[in-house]
Structure 1
């Protein structure tokens, strides 16, 4: 449901912008506001699950997400839409990380890769169905229907969780670190405000700079607090585990580039190629299809090459597939675009699964709640930054060329910009030992210490 929501809104953005009377680039706020809310509230998801029970929290999160989806569909302006998306993000923050926590507590290290693969494969139904469903609903019903489609899915999900997910009795967690949670949330919110508004002309020029400055200061204060608090919301000790540190660090850089693509592609196809929302959705379906096809092969790739080689060299492949999108031109047949996007989907899927599994292979059971919170926060922050990163390159290129609206050359620059973060992730992954995560991948033998 969450992945479906993310993919359908990208396809519907141009139509939403026309009906709401705003610019398509400004509507990136409807994506980033949701991602920022996820980022701000994910840090407390592990504590809330331990305090109130993971199953109960999971069900409430699904209900909140569905209610907020209904409000999104009823929105009459950008402000209302952004507010509803923030509420939706609160639900999502307690939904996906808690589901992952429920799974991680019940599997052995050697089952990690297979479990992560199976966990993500149903989620890929969202990106596969999202672009064509979003296009069809936008063209034939209304863009509002792309949010209302979540309601029956949520109802089915609630029934299945109630029926099949067992309740668990976890040890009562220590008192919530309110100071740490507040500092982290405020820091992330300020940083994302600055990233979303810089160079857009939507607020005074000094406000984004102030947002960056306050966000950085609060982030520094959060780290200082975490080092001396008895039970910090941000457990920095987890970064002493090399596989966790590399999985989160390299994975975050990769997701910045990967997060820009779903925002850029539908806009490019509709504004640059003149394609309808339906055609755009069918073409961008290629990325999700490639990702779905790769999932069964992920275990074999990791067993054959190991985490280090996969994360390092596949990051270069991901960067190359994003850079290849810069060559897209309206003269290209859509079938050729489809093939390039499918290849990118294959590479990104392998990187997603490998970095997710790597993050948890050496984390002790008692630290899983903290690990899922940190990893989930990093994932959502990097995806939010990806949308902002892509939109900023697009806007900057158009501004430098003196164009009022983005053109084909501006999208080319944006895709080249999106390729940079995954390329920078490769040397970070190269710090892993050759046998890192061997117990999970089955490649080689030994531990996962970094060199």
Structure 2
């Protein structure tokens, strides 16, 4: 049952949650444009800065499964306040970092807060408002989340060029202070009706698998680990993952139940998310590097060049529902996945002689295709789940989305580093080969979506496209 709110709290609460959504989405996009400048200041190779991105994404992925239990255990008010405070403290630590190692550790601290901000914010809305108000309230609080990718690259590029990269983190401090004050004075302390069980051992197994597999991918790129260690890390991660699913099959209250995969649309959607995002997840990381490192753009110009990508992504959301209702998930996802791969590979054709307007058109089409892909993948994953499995399924989708994005960045970094070290390959050629490879990887995911039937996702045609989780960034 929703909690009865006084009129003032009911009016102001969505604004508080919107602040958290804006902080999270802005931080997810403002950083990429600043990576070359950060690398120069920290005496690092700009092509090997992916750990700064991965550390945050992986931390968020690790803690998302525990967010609901933490909120029930300590209350939404205290957890939401702590999340914003940790995120702000991590931002300050990032701004004063003097080495890449310190910066990565600071990003982990940021991730501890970021992992709780969005899930707990959505939980507050779910528990505070009647179901009839959810679409309206969630639509309102997610608007700032859509503005973040639009403003982030441009704002980040401007700050790097005219101020310094430290300001991309310092800008979070006043917003964080406002958010902490607002949470403490407005957000009610909501808890679950009963104490829930948390699968601690399953959480540790699942988390260990994610960490080991990601480090193995990083070992091929930035960390330069011997192939034997990479194989051992990868084997260890797969073993932890296998052990988790074997245990979950017999646990009455597992972290994620294997029975979720009995729903075909969920199984196809989760696997499709994992592999399709390996390509598209590297896009915000690779494009600013391509523009600045290989093509010589200034940070401000590189940031401005990302506007078509974000703007077309927002516009594409309005056509997602009609397309899916007209053609169905199978056709839309199979076709769009192939188009996504082609567009990613097409960035391998960009050279210093490419007309600027052609590049902007490419990025605009890419943003629209990418947005349609996320919308269709997320909704087909959840649409056929019953109410009993919806929460667990949504949580697993959020984890897989964050994990695949971090693996995509790690994979792109490994490819870029590998192609760069080849004797006959210059930096621009390395980018070309990297985009070609991740484009092919993305296209292969179409083989997963073609397993859908033409009727999948149409059990409730009046609600063909549900509001999707806010996990695109």
Q: Give me the TM-score of the superposition, normalised by structure 2.
A: 0.86
* Deviation per residue, 1:115-171 (Å, 9 max, x gap): 987665431211111111000101111101111112233344456656776665523
Measured in 1, the distance between the counterparts of 2:76 and 2:372 equals 28
Measured in 1, the distance between the counterparts of 2:460 and 2:423 equals 50
Residue 297 of structure 1 aligns to a residue in which SS?
A: helix
Measured in 1, the distance between the counterparts of 2:130 and 2:418 equals 47
Measured in 2, the distance between the counterparts of 1:231 and 1:55 equals 26
Measured in 2, the distance between the counterparts of 1:64 and 1:344 equals 34
Paired residues for 1:234-383 under 5 Å: 234-383=256-405
Measured in 2, the distance between the counterparts of 1:155 and 1:293 equals 32
Paired residues for 1:155-170 under 5 Å: 155-158=177-180, 168-170=190-192
Could you tell me how far 1:436 is from its partner in structure 2? 2.3
Measured in 2, the distance between the counterparts of 1:399 and 1:439 equals 52
On the 8 A contact 2:383/2:457 being kept in 1, the answer is: yes
Paired residues for 1:110-129 under 5 Å: 121-129=143-151
Q: Give me the TM-score of the superposition, normalised by structure 1.
A: 0.90
Corresponding position of 2:165: 143
Measured in 2, the distance between the counterparts of 1:24 and 1:430 equals 38
On the 8 A contact 2:27/2:152 being kept in 1, the answer is: yes
Corresponding position of 1:417: 437
Measured in 2, the distance between the counterparts of 1:134 and 1:72 equals 15
2:91 to 58, 69, 79: 69
Could you tell me how far 1:180 is from its partner in structure 2? 0.7
Paired residues for 1:165-184 under 5 Å: 168-184=190-206
Measured in 1, the distance between the counterparts of 2:220 and 2:416 equals 13
Change beyond 3 A, Cα 1:383–1:68: same
Change beyond 3 A, Cα 1:349–1:156: farther
Corresponding position of 2:66: 44
Measured in 1, the distance between the counterparts of 2:265 and 2:131 equals 17
Say whether residues 1:25 and 2:47 are aligned partners.
yes
Measured in 1, the distance between the counterparts of 2:177 and 2:331 equals 42
Measured in 1, the distance between the counterparts of 2:398 and 2:198 equals 18
Residue 407 of structure 2 aligns to a residue in which SS?
A: helix
Measured in 2, the distance between the counterparts of 1:297 and 1:115 equals 21
On the 8 A contact 1:101/1:372 being kept in 2, the answer is: no
Between 259-268 and 221-230, report the one with greater CA deviation: 221-230
1:229 to 233, 251, 256: 251
On the 8 A contact 2:34/2:299 being kept in 1, the answer is: yes
Could you tell me how far 1:232 is from its partner in structure 2? 1.2
* Aligned-pair Cα RMSD in Å: 2.7
Residue 80 of structure 1 aligns to a residue in which SS?
A: helix
Corresponding position of 1:8: 30
